Amino acid sequence: MKILDLRPKSAAMANRTQGYGYENTSYYQHCTINFMGIGNIHAVRDAYQKISNLCLSATANDIQWTQLVEETRWPSMIRLILSASWQTAFHIYFNRLPVLLHCSHGWDRTSQVSALSQIFLDEYYRTKEGFATLIEKDFMSFGHPFHTRGGHGEGRGERGGVPGSVGNTGSSGGSGSNHGGGGTTVGGGGGDEGQLSPIFLQFLDCVYQIVNQYPDYFEFNTKYLLLLSEHVYSCRFGTLLCDTEREREVVAGIRQRTFCLWDYLDSMDELVNVNYVRQQEWRKQSKKGEDDTVYGEDGVLMMPLPTLLRNVTLWTDRHCMYGPKATVRCMPEELEQYCTGLNSGEGSHVVVAKDRAPLLSTNDIVDGELKRAMEEVEKWKNIAKSYLEELDILKAGGVGEKEVVVVDDDDAVIVNGGENVEE
């Protein structure tokens, strides 16, 4: 068995003074332990405050932008979590070893790494239904304290009630607005401000990195993650409220009193990845079942670890959403129509729901260009097919040895004995 302690080794040793610690492998035969070095909730909160301050700063040095982003340590934390998740999936799939994951409590870092490793291992969790199931299983059912970590419905400094108390889970003020706007503070309060930390948002950032690098393997796109990250703190839906299943089901009656976030996300067509290819279809499209270097035979998504870690980038759609400086390239008007509009009649027009603006992301430019190129290819394929059908009809109609060469839609040049006759 492989034991992965997600804490830094120094933190694990320090916990011994409080009666905790870590496994002594001399007591467990054929077991090895590794420390992953992932920071605790306080380190995550500090890093998020730094990345938020940087993205919202009007005086940040753009020449040293990449260096400033790395100095916040937010990207390095993302890499640590992705690395631990990849190693977990690697030991399970290639070494056929059971893996034991744990940290201090088991509902923050453990939930992150466990869920991400399952995304690598099982194609089902890369679908919309499977991803929702994964969150409900590894975060909600295993006790991730959404209210305590997010401070839902409490203003900064409020101490009214125990963290996670039901009386404070229904409103959408205070911390929800700060989080939704990517403010300079994490949340805005909570019964114990020391317990506030964007753990779930960090998990979504890790998923974004995988989706951004391998979009064809996911049924949902980065817009899905962006909208989900906003409603973690909006308190508009009850799906991600409260700390425990008992609070949600028994005390607050969340399912009976609030709307479901998953139903809302499933109702939006623009959150679906049109280029998604399931594992079975992927095998059919490959060269006679030839193994793909990334996609395993069982639907496992295992890329080289350096490829994954070296391409980690800032989630600009989320962190720079309300920044004072332009970070994302402006989209040409005609390309925007391809991304947010529907073809109607002779031209295209932008179709936007009455209650919201068009949902756009950085990948829309590439997706729009690809969509437009594919439509051009399909158009010319249809033109060529119609011309070939016309040639077959003319040849079958007794044209004989005459050769018909189509010039355009209106004219045709018939070559007969070296003479050109225009019809």
Looking at residue 380, what is its pLDDT?
A: 86
Residues labelled catalytic: 103
Q: What burial letters (b/e) apply to 222-237, b meaning 16+ CB within 10 Å?
A: bbbbbbbbbbbbbbeb
**What is the β-pairing status of strands 99-102 and 32-35?**
unpaired
Looking at residue 173, what is its pLDDT?
A: 36
Containing 377, the helix (H) or strand (E) segment is: helix 363-396
CA atoms of 167 and 242, how far apart (whole Å)? 10
CA atoms of 24 and 206, how far apart (whole Å)? 31
Does the model's pTM come out above 0.85?
no
Distances (CA, A) of 169 to 78, 107, 229, 231, 258: 29, 20, 18, 14, 11
Looking at residue 353, what is its pLDDT?
A: 41
3-class SS letters over 168-179: HCCCCCCHHHHH
Greatest alpha-carbon span in the chain: 101
pLDDT in tens, the chain (423 residues): 999 989 898 888 887 777 777 888 888 888 999 999 999 999 999 999 999 999 999 999 999 999 999 999 999 999 999 999 999 999 999 999 999 998 888 889 999 999 999 999 999 999 999 999 999 999 999 889 999 898 887 666 554 333 333 333 333 333 333 444 444 343 333 445 688 999 999 999 999 999 999 998 999 999 999 999 999 998 889 899 998 888 888 888 888 888 999 999 999 988 998 888 765 566 556 554 454 556 666 789 999 999 999 999 999 999 998 888 888 776 566 555 555 553 333 343 333 344 444 555 666 666 666 677 777 888 888 888 888 888 888 888 755 454 555 555 555 555 554 455 454
Looking at residue 345, what is its pLDDT?
A: 36
Looking at residue 104, what is its pLDDT?
A: 80
Looking at residue 349, what is its pLDDT?
A: 38
